[in-house]
Structure 1
Amino acid sequence: MAWDLLFSSDFGLFSVFVIVFLLGMSVWFPYFFRKKMREDEKRKVQ
């Protein structure tokens, strides 16, 4: 019943979208910040 409500209602689909979006952000932000930190270190060395 809960799975049916999650994937068949508007607020359930929006919840799934938010969960997927947050998981994507949790992967993307560390990659982005590490990349910027490396660029900053290279700029300070030169």
Structure 2
Amino acid sequence: MAWKELFSTDVGILSLLTIGFVLVIGTYMYRFAKSHIAEDEKHSHG
């Protein structure tokens, strides 16, 4: 099945790493932006 190919071939492993990398970077950027937006709102309403 596709799962076996995903975990056993070079291309499958690279795909998993790429997907994982994108998810990690996306989560980091989302949290980074969210915290900075909250800080900006604190400073601008002062």
What TM-score, normalized by structure 1, do the two folds share?
A: 0.68
Count the aligned residue pairs. Answer: 46
Q: CA deviation at 1:33?
A: 2.2
- Percent identity among equivalent residues? 38
Which 4+ residue blocks in structure 1 deviate beyond 2 angstroms? 33-45
**Structure 1 unmatched runs, 5+:** none
1:20 maps to 20
Distance (whole Å) between structure 2 residues aligned to residue 21 and residue 11 of structure 1: 15
What TM-score, normalized by structure 2, do the two folds share?
A: 0.68
